Amino acid sequence: MTKEKVKHKQFVTDSNIPVKPVYNQSKNSKENPGEYPFTRGIHSGMYRDRLWTMRQYSGFGDAAQSNKRYKFMLDSGQTGLSMAFDLPTQIGHDPDSARAEGEVGKVGVSIASLKDMQTAFNGINLGKASTSMTINATASTLLAYYIAVGKSQGISSKELRGTTQNDILKEYVARNTYIYPPQPSMRIIGDMIGYCAKNVPQWYPISISGYHMREAGATAVQEIAFTIANGIEYIQTCIDRGLKIDDFAPRLSFFFCCTIEFFEEVAKFRTARKIYAKILKERFHAKNPKSLQLRFHTQTSGESLTAQQPDNNIVRVSVQAMAAVLGGTQSLHTNSKDEALALPSQEAAKIALRTQQIIGYESGVTKTVDPMAGSHYMESLCDEIEEQVLNYLKKIDKMGGALKAIENGFFQSEIRQNAYRLKKEVDNNERVLVGVNKFAEKSEKKHDLLRVDDSLGKKQEKAIKDLRKSRDNKKTEYALSKMQKAAETDKNLMPFILDSVLAYATTGEISNTFREVFGEYRPKEVF
């Protein structure tokens, strides 16, 4: 029986010049996209077959306000949702906690209970949506909310698609929205990965993130090395818990930053895929090709945006987005021009989305797979990045792995040194920031910015108190008690968290229950 040839869409340039799917005239010409070690992309057709997911990060105020923004962005052509949460939600405090004062709804949406999550997704079909949640210490609770919302819509957890960031190791390095010490935090992550493998099979339970380390000052090499080292730590945690590599590795994902050093960024992504594939094959002996594929979301660099002349940020983001696309990202968030000043306004968020759409539909870079292949400069950069990343990984292995290296302050020290170098270069005018230390203007025009109403905190505080009065508190307390007892054993915590969520336990109550068992993390001073 002869194999039927698949007919692919034919692409041409504006001058009617045919564009081949793949061009092979480099030293890596034996490597094809969609094949090990995936240097040239994890899919054979890449964007010729399907564009990346345009997943704009958004969320502010209360759930109702964020619901309106999600619907606006979907109506504007966004193809995936990405939730930003406020600080109290991220670190497990309810809106009526003294530690939440002044922060409710400010840097993301306030989600304090299942009711809030139901409001956030009111009118949005979770069977069709793909949702990414930038949440770490409380990721298990937020995923449980999402599963419960799906259930209320008649959608099985097996149908849900999306990602929880859930990368606690980088919190100890760069971001600091941790709650518990490293060991119990890693236990909860292992529980989530194991639970999702069986019960939420289309979900990515972790997005191992280099983004925040890069924004804190890491080089491209450090971003890849430290992120992959963290990935190795998570993989080993799951294996130590009895999971088989091919049962969970296909649902691991990554999250990277894309700055404005265009060619280095493209090379970084290519090299990361290659190194990761080799580690999964040679170190962990994965057999499933999907286990070897490094899938990643990219966000343009918020740290690179300037408060001065913010319209220039549209250009910065465009360059960064193009690098991410040429690097083969699976999904992309483009920052808004006003993010150095405030949360994105609706108009600025739309421009950021349009930036992706123009690249995807107008630029022509999607007509052939891996258009950067064969560049002498690109391949030299890839070789140099690979060598430096592997040297870092060897050094981290000698320290006992990423967790030990983080506990000893190695990642933090390396990042701080580079951040200091970059700052000195800007201060000495050795590194140009257009509109800041060169081509500056004496006066700046005023811009319309998004402001979150300060009264929102009181509104959310009242809502959480009303919830506690209206729910069956005996049922809630019983669910929390069972969850606490489970935390004192080695049982998987996800079913108990889900039961607590369905009993309308709040984000703060669930987190405080775990605080009683695990304690809170207090970092050592690192010099």
The full set of domain ranges for the chain reads: 54-347+375-427
> Residue 526 above 60 pLDDT?
no
CB contact at 8 A, 73 and 56: yes
Coil/strand/helix, residue 384: helix
Q: What are the angstrom distances between the C-alpha of 313 and each of 57, 168, 300, 348? A: 17, 30, 11, 11
The three state secondary structure string of 415-459 is HHHHHHHHHHHHHCCCCCCECCCECCCCCCCCCCCCCCCCCHHHH
Lowest mean pLDDT among 9-23, 294-308, 374-388, 482-496: 9-23
> Residue 38 above 90 pLDDT?
yes
How far apart CA 439 and CA 296 sit, in angstroms, is 36
95 cis-preceded (ω within 30 degrees of 0): no
How far apart CA 76 and CA 71 sit, in angstroms, is 8
- Name the residue among 111, 110, 124, 115 with its Cα closest to residue 153: 124
Rounded average pLDDT over 121-135: 96
> Residue 4 above 50 pLDDT?
no
- Name the residue among 62, 114, 109 with its Cα closest to residue 505: 114
The neighbour count for residue 14, using CB atoms within 10 Å, is 6
The neighbour count for residue 351, using CB atoms within 10 Å, is 18
Coil/strand/helix, residue 335: coil
Higher pLDDT, 93 or 522: 93
Contacts (Cβ under 8 Å, ≥6 apart) of 398: none
CA atoms within 13 A on the CB side of 393: 23
CB contact at 8 A, 511 and 138: yes
How far apart CA 131 and CA 67 sit, in angstroms, is 13
CB contact at 8 A, 121 and 97: no
The neighbour count for residue 278, using CB atoms within 10 Å, is 16
Give the CA dihedral 308, 313, 316, 318, nearest 10 degrees: -170
The neighbour count for residue 48, using CB atoms within 10 Å, is 19
> Residue 29 above 80 pLDDT?
no
Rounded average pLDDT over 251-265: 97
Question: Which token pair is 66?
Answer: 């964020």
- Name the residue among 366, 352, 330 with its Cα closest to residue 130: 330
Chain centroid, CA 141 distance in Å:
17
> Residue 445 above 80 pLDDT?
no
> What are phi and psi for residue 252, nearest 5 degrees?
-90, 140
Residue 80 β-bridge partners = 55
Residue 104 β-bridge partners = none
pLDDT score at 2: 38
Q: What share of the chain is helix, strand, coil (3-state, %, to 5)?
A: 50, 10, 40
Name the residue with tokens 């891996």: 370
How far apart CA 438 and CA 436 sit, in angstroms, is 6
How far apart CA 186 and CA 206 sit, in angstroms, is 12
DSSP secondary structure letters along 290-326: GGG---EEEEE-STT--SSSTTHHHHHHHHHHHHHHH
Rounded average pLDDT over 223-231: 98
CB contact at 8 A, 137 and 177: yes
How far apart CA 289 and CA 322 sit, in angstroms, is 28
Contacts (Cβ under 8 Å, ≥6 apart) of 133: 82, 83, 85, 139, 142, 143, 146, 162, 163, 164, 165
The chain-wide mean pLDDT, for the chain, equals: 94
Higher pLDDT, 413 or 1: 413
Lowest mean pLDDT among 157-171, 224-238, 511-525: 511-525
pLDDT score at 5: 45
Question: Which token pair is 294?
Answer: 């490094």
Fold of 54-347+375-427: TIM Barrel (3.20.20)
pLDDT score at 28: 56
pLDDT score at 154: 97
pLDDT score at 274: 98
Global confidence as pTM:
0.94
Could you report the per-residue pLDDT of 301-354, keeping only the tens digit for each?
Answer: 999 999 999 999 999 999 999 999 999 999 999 999 999 998 899 999 999 999
pLDDT score at 450: 79
Q: What are the angstrom distances between the C-alpha of 394 and each of 222, 387, 414, 488, 514? A: 13, 11, 15, 36, 35
Contacts (Cβ under 8 Å, ≥6 apart) of 500: 144, 476, 479, 480, 483, 509, 510, 513
Parallel/antiparallel/unpaired status of strands 203-204 and 206-209: unpaired
Q: How confident is the model at residue 26 (pLDDT cuts 50, 70, 90)?
A: low
Burial class from Cβ neighbours inside 10 Å (0-12, 13-18, 19+) for residue 464 reads buried
> Residue 8 above 70 pLDDT?
no
pLDDT score at 156: 97
CB contact at 8 A, 80 and 131: yes
How far apart CA 10 and CA 121 sit, in angstroms, is 39
